[in-house]
């Protein structure tokens, strides 16, 4: 598995992690809300205060119920390591859904579980809290880094970060069918690689565009501690001798800021009935602090990090 070096969260996120399935579930709730409002207004012989759902959606039983899942596969381009200006292609499997009352969504190369996951409903949506464990696999500079000088500094161990995720979702912020979520993740490495802590505040926004398209945008920042920064961005005396790069001692702090957007298209033309869908994604993040100043980035790569991808999924 290649490293995901752009925002994840949304965590991003990252590519298939945000492949609009959660956004589609929110859309199902919103469409039911709009339908109920329209029916009430009609009975009172008053104009509806919210627009009726797009033709074809109001009379379709959504696939998003007590148990649902989306599986899929995508391919994209990401930097070969955090701070690299060389890009590599990678495959991305996708598993997202709700099983046994537990929400499941990808979290970069990893998973986030929501133990407070609510069953999608065609009733009125409310502000809700998501909470649960989160896992992230990080293999930065563990495989091919695409740069001989950086590779000479040595291979790093893979890390498994385990922690908690919490978020609050607000429906109908800008228009009846959208959802705005504000959340935070805190994770710590349990494999003894960087042996540090990562904290990621995130904001995401999801909205249907017509009845077949769903757009999701996520923005976030990443804070890391000294242990994380030292492991990935310091150039030790041994690494200096092996690579020829100047010595550098990195400390923690604000590590990255960025955004990721995903546009999902349902091939049946109905975003609620499940089946096949395709998506495209693009993102940008900027390394900051010692992540940008390290010789691995400043001399051999770039603080500007981009990500693009395409994928296909099936919802049932």
CATH number at residue 297: 2.40.230
Reported as a pLDDT band with limits 50, 70 and 90, residue 176 is: confident
Does residue 6 lie in a domain region? Answer: no
Q: How many domains does the chain have?
A: 1
Does residue 186 lie in a domain region? Answer: yes
Nearest Cα residue to 72 out of 278, 264, 283: 278
pLDDT at 144: 85
Per-residue pLDDT tens over the stretch 5-51: 333 333 333 333 333 333 334 444 443 343 333 333 333 333 333 33
Contacts of 45 (CB under 8 A, 6+ apart): none
Higher pLDDT, 299 or 6: 299
Does residue 7 lie in a domain region? Answer: no
Does residue 1 lie in a domain region? Answer: no
Does residue 189 lie in a domain region? Answer: yes
Higher pLDDT, 38 or 231: 231
pLDDT at 44: 36
pLDDT at 60: 56
Does residue 301 lie in a domain region? Answer: yes
Nearest Cα residue to 89 out of 170, 22, 11, 146: 146
Higher pLDDT, 215 or 19: 215
pLDDT at 39: 38
* Weakest mean pLDDT among 58-72, 103-117, 257-271: 58-72
Does residue 3 lie in a domain region? Answer: no
Domain, as residue range, for 139: 16-315
Is residue 136 left, alpha or beta, with left meaning phi > 0 and alpha meaning psi from -120 to 50? beta
Per-residue pLDDT tens over the stretch 88-133: 998 878 888 999 999 998 887 889 999 999 877 666 788 999 999 9
CA dist 228 and 220 (Å) reads 18
Does residue 262 lie in a domain region? Answer: yes
Give me the residue label for tokens 């041994």.
238
Reported as a pLDDT band with limits 50, 70 and 90, residue 136 is: very high
CA dist 274 and 150 (Å) reads 45
Per-residue pLDDT tens over the stretch 237-253: 999 999 999 999 999 99
Size of the chain in residues? 316
pLDDT at 94: 81
Long-range CB contact pairs, 95-100, < 8 A, 24+? 95/69, 95/70, 95/71, 96/16, 96/17, 96/19, 96/21, 96/22, 96/69, 96/70, 97/21, 97/67, 97/68, 97/69, 97/70, 98/25, 98/64, 98/66, 98/67, 98/68, 98/69, 99/67, 99/69, 100/67
pLDDT at 122: 62
């Amino acid at each position: 598995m290649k490293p995901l070096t752009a925002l994840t969260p949304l965590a991003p996120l990252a590519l298939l992690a945000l492949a609009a399935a959660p956004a589609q579930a929110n859309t199902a709730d919103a469409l039911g809300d709009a339908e109920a409002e329209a029916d009430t207004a009609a009975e009172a012989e008053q104009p509806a205060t919210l627009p009726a759902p797009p033709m074809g959606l109001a009379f379709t039983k959504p696939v998003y119920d007590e148990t649902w899942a989306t599986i899929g596969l995508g391919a994209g381009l990401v930097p070969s390591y955090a701070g690299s200006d060389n890009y590599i292609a990678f495959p991305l499997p996708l598993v997202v859904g709700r099983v046994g009352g537990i929400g499941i969504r990808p979290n970069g190369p990893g998973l986030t579980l929501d133990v407070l996951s609510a069953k999608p409903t065609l009733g009125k949506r409310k502000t809700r809290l998501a909470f649960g464990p989160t896992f992230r696999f990080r293999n930065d500079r563990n495989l091919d880094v695409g740069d001989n000088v950086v590779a000479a500094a040595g291979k790093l161990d893979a890390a498994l970060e385990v922690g908690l995720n919490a978020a609050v979702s607000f429906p109908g912020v800008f228009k009846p069918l959208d959802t705005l979520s504000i959340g935070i993740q805190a994770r710590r490495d349990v494999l003894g690689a960087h042996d540090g802590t990562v904290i990621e505040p995130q904001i995401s926004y999801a909205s249907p565009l017509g009845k077949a398209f769903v757009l999701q945008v996520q923005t976030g920042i990443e804070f890391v501690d000294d242990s994380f920064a030292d492991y990935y961005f310091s150039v030790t005396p041994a690494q200096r001798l092996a690579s020829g790069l100047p010595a550098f001692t990195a400390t923690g702090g604000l590590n990255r800021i960025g955004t990721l957007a995903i546009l999902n298209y349902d091939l049946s033309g109905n975003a609620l009935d499940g089946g096949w869908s395709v998506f495209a994604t693009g993102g940008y993040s900027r390394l900051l602090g010692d992540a940008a100043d390290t010789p691995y980035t400043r001399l051999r790569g770039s603080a500007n990090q981009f990500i693009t991808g395409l994928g296909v999924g099936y919802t049932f």
